[in-house]
Amino acid sequence: MFDLAFNNLNEILAMDGHGVYVWSVYSIAISIIVASFLIAKNRIKGVKRKIKIKNAPS
């Protein structure tokens, strides 16, 4: 039913000698996405803190 390009995990990791490049690009892309998410989360937290301080009763 399915005709997979790879037969085992070693072939998936090696990818006919291109695995190092493919998996390094995947890891860099995932790292950038995670870093962007964490930076945005911290900025939102900072803005919420500023709003809370500004709206605090004097």
pLDDT of amino acid 43 = 98
The yes-or-no verdict on residue 38 having pLDDT over 80 is: yes
For residue 27, give the nearest of 45, 42, 13 by alpha carbon.
13
Residue labelled with tokens 């005709």: 3
The yes-or-no verdict on residue 6 having pLDDT over 90 is: no
Higher pLDDT, 39 or 57: 39
pLDDT in tens, 9-33: 899 889 889 999 999 999 999 999 9
Coil/strand/helix, residue 4: coil
